[in-house]
Chain A
């Protein structure tokens, strides 16, 4: 039985367990029909031209893990940003781990989707926001069809959340292969500010496929900073579908750091519903050894006087492949839009590939839109400069890569996170630089 059939038949079982007739359950039933009709995307779809899911879909994934597993904090501490106080929402093989989590209901809600879906006090928020940003593409629909667990974050008006929130998904390898479909909902009301860090981490080499959907709503003047750390094991693949709806004068940023994993596809979509909105999409990708990272972004400028900033850097070694497909739509009403997009790549090896495609659809006539993509090699004269000062090749290469990524790294607002990311990069490049950047 192929994965699609398996999912379709599993859904029948899933339906029995769900609360019949509820708002979300109706959505699930509609969504499974969408998935049944569309199936998994293939290379024939324009948006998937350079990324094939065939290999990833060929595993025999367990869709509902049978047993629950406990993890000791000390064994997985290194995957947390642990040197600062944070809220934590942690899942093990798709199941919530209260042991590793630190949630709250004091003034703000940082908790789980499963409880938000069944408790009446969250019903209004769920009915107002759940699935209101996500598109009905087949993968998002598939996630909706199985949606039951994930992070639920609601920040009411005028709250500055001082501690960052970490959302971490572990997979333990207890199943030979597992498919996870976390569903996150983040609602940030007027004037509020929140910082969120998301990570998916497999603890063994057993295949993992995660198809996640995150919906984020930023109300007037809200500030949302979202960081994704993608540094998973070699057999873990991730399809990340993130949808952000912004209202007037809000600021939202998503930074994506992709260093690990087998196949990573980021579908990142911003919708601007209001004036003076600012959207930031940045990413650093450093991969090698058959890894594949695909950034598929959309910024939809709907109203006047808004900005968007996209800056994606990629360093590709060995036989790795990168894809960048950045779409910017500026509607007729969206005058005075300022949309900036850059995608810079370095191919370290002759066997590495990057496919980069900016896509601008501009219907307004008084806008500033720029885009640029570059593909190059490591700067030989810069290498020589550093070597001539006594810095060996490997370290010189690492310094150049840091310098190349600096525009993205420097806008990370949590210093401990920035430090952690530079450490991950240094480890990946096998250097110790003796200082923090």
Chain B
């Protein structure tokens, strides 16, 4: 599904990713861990198509198609979804209207008619229930005055609505209490199938107790320095990152 080959990327002439190789197959869950400033969020943004980042070398292909030149919205239309660490507030635009716009723009790009209002409403209700989202919440301005937990839940709600092939969850666990974490993880698990994949970016093992990864990668200084299975995450939780840093620096 996703194939990243020797990816180098920089922002404002600062090299951040220095040769990433990663392959994610349909149905797989990959976790990317690593200390602060190792390039985790940059990797997520580069896959999703943020303009500030410049790909200098290497390639990203999605379902066999090179995507590194595509705009963010085109990547979204192909089925890539990024859940933001810090979702943006948009006053005056309700959660419902925002997601309606997003869905219909995607449909337009695929040459489909707008989704009938009745179907849209049904879908919104179904996905809101899945994430235990109150109906009143849907008419509030997008992310405005939302608590940390509400913001993240709203991100996963949008993910549920857009039904992506590849979902990248960037620090979705940060700012969540244990109940919110459970609801969010539950939602992600229910949306998972053998055809779609998830990349979970996180500092901590905590989220991975709920969303169990097939593979765990450690990103450090812009490179994947270690890969393993979920046991690697436990080891990191117990020992921290220092031993990895030592290994790399040695």
Contact = CB atoms under 8 A, between A and B. Distances in A.
Interface string B104-137: 1110010000100000000000000000000000
Contacts of A289: none
Contacts of B45: 384
A388 to B, nearest CB: 5
A435 B71 contact: no
A410 interface: yes
A422 B97 CA distance: 14
B3 interface: no
B90 A392 contact: no
A390 B73 contact: yes
A65 to B, nearest CB: 42
B93 A380 contact: no
Q: Give chain B's interface residue range (CB within 8 Å of chain A).
A: 35 or more
A392 to B, nearest CB: 5
B238 interface: no
Given A390-B73, A390-B162, A399 B101 contact: yes
A49 to B, nearest CB: 33
Contacts of B75: 388
A374 to B, nearest CB: 15
Interface in A391-407: 391-393, 395-396, 399-400, 402-403, 405-407
B49 A387 contact: yes
Contact of A384 (B51, B99, B101, B114): B51
Interface string B58-94: 0000000000000111011100011010111011110
Contact of B100 (A386, A402, A435): A435
Nearest to A402: B92
B82 A388 contact: yes
A389 B92 contact: no
Contacts of A388: 48-50, 72-73, 75-76, 81-82, 84
Among A386, A399, A435, A437, the one with the most B-chain Cβ atoms within 10 Å of its Cβ is A386
Q: Chain B at the A interface: mostly helix, strand, loop or mixed?
A: helix
B84 A385 contact: yes
A378 to B, nearest CB: 12
Contacts of A382: 88, 90
A45 interface: no
A406 B91 contact: yes
A437 B87 CA distance: 21
A363 to B, nearest CB: 36
B91 A403 contact: yes
B246 interface: no
B101 A434 contact: yes
A129 B155 CA distance: 58
A75 interface: no
A391 B51 contact: no
Among A395, A400, A403, the one with the most B-chain Cβ atoms within 10 Å of its Cβ is A403
Interface string B13-45: 000000000000000000000000000000001
A434 B100 contact: yes
A437 B91 CA distance: 10
A409 interface: yes
A390 B162 CA distance: 9
Contact of B88 (A381, A392, A409, A435): A381
A382 B104 CA distance: 19
A392 B97 CA distance: 15
Interface string A278-321: 00000000000000000000000000000000000000000000
Contacts of A391: 73, 101-102, 105
B158 interface: yes
Nearest to A385: B88
Nearest to B92: A406
B90 A399 contact: yes
A40 B46 CA distance: 57
A387 B81 contact: no
Contacts of B86: 381
B247 interface: no
A377 to B, nearest CB: 13
A228 B106 CA distance: 37
Contacts of A395: 101, 105
10 nearest CB pairs, A to B: A406-B92, A387-B72, A390-B76, A390-B106, A389-B102, A385-B88, A382-B88, A387-B73, A406-B91, A403-B90
Interface of B: 45, 48-52, 71-73, 75-77, 81-82, 84, 86-88, 90-93, 97-106, 109, 114, 141, 158, 162
20 contacts: A384-B50, A387-B72, A387-B73, A388-B48, A388-B49, A388-B50, A388-B76, A388-B84, A389-B162, A390-B103, A391-B101, A393-B71, A395-B101, A396-B73, A399-B90, A399-B93, A403-B90, A403-B91, A433-B97, A434-B114
Given A379-B88, A399-B93, A437-B93, 7 more contacts: A388-B72, A388-B82, A388-B84, A389-B76, A389-B102, A390-B162, A391-B105
